[in-house]
């Protein structure tokens, strides 16, 4: 059995509700989606038990009713696991993952500025990447946001 299949089995074995939600799109690429209420457990397991010790980045997505986030995690052997989760756009609150990955701070700040996510546990600090005088409640990467012409 391939490494990807092994990882899939381990995940389904641990979390039964992931059955049918894990998609191996090609060699070294695994995509899976979890409800936000299960995110913390699955994330912790993937990092600590399956040894995905490198967070490539976090992608934010505006999907109409909800904001989704994909955590791109990598094994040293090159397998890339894309863990997707989503929260309602009305209350887009997620917990920070900096206790696992201190380097995630900048990726989470990006979600705050560009998507309007509220990240709990993010320390005080400079915003990124928008300017300090950027107007409130304007989130450029949301689909309804349009650049204003001169």
Partner 1 sequence: MREEEKFKIPIGPQHPALKEPENFSLALKGEKIMGVEIRLGYNHRGIEKAAEARTYVQDVYLLERVCGICSHAHSTCFVQAVEEIAGAQVPKRALYIRTLIAELERIHSHLLWLGVAGHEIGFDTLLMYTWRDREIVMDILALLTGNRVNYGINTLGGVRRDINKEEIETINNGVDILEERTKYYIEVATQETTIIKRLSGVGILSREDALELDAVGPTARASGVKRDIRHDDPYAAYAEIDFNVITDDHSDVYGRTVVRVKELMEAYKIVRQCLKDMPDGPITVKVPRKIPVGEAISRYEAPRGEDVHFVKSNGTEYPERVKVRAPTLANLRAVKHMLKDRFLADMPIVVAAIDPCFSCTDRLISVENNGSRDKQFLTWEALRNYSIEWHRDKGIDFTELNKNFRKRLGSI
Regarding 102 and contact with partner 1 (CB under 8 A), the answer is: yes
Each residue of 21-52: b (16+ CB within 10 Å) or e? ebebeeebebebebebeebeebbeebbeebeb
CB of 103 to partner 1, least distance (A): 4
18 by Cβ neighbours in 10 Å (0-12 / 13-18 / 19+) ranks as middle
Scanning 4-12, 32-40, 69-77, 87-95 for contacts with partner 1 by CB under 8 A, the matching segment is 69-77
Regarding 77 and contact with partner 1 (CB under 8 A), the answer is: yes
Nearer to partner 1, 74 or 96 (CB): 74
* Contact present, 28 and 76 (Cβ < 8 Å): no
Residues in contact with partner 1 by the rule CB under 8 A = 25-26, 28-29, 31, 53-57, 59-61, 70, 72, 74, 76-78, 80, 82, 101-103, 105-107, 114, 125-131, 140-141, 145, 147
């Amino acid at each position: 059995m391939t490494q990807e299949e092994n990882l899939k089995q381990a995940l389904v074995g641990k979390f039964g509700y992931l059955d049918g939600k894990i998609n191996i799109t090609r060699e070294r690429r695994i995509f899976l989606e979890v409800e936000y209420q299960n995110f913390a457990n699955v994330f912790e397991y993937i990092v600590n038990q399956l040894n995905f010790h490198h967070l490539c980045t976090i992608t934010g997505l505006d999907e109409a009713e909800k904001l989704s986030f994909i955590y791109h995690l990598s094994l040293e052997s090159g397998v890339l696991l894309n863990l997707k989760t989503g929260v309602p756009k009305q209350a887009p609150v997620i917990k920070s993952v900096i206790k696992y990955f201190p380097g995630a701070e900048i990726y989470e700040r990006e979600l705050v500025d560009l998507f309007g996510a509220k990240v709990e546990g993010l320390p005080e600090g400079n915003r990124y990447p928008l300017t300090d005088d950027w107007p409130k409640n304007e989130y450029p990467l949301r689909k309804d946001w349009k650049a204003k012409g001169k």
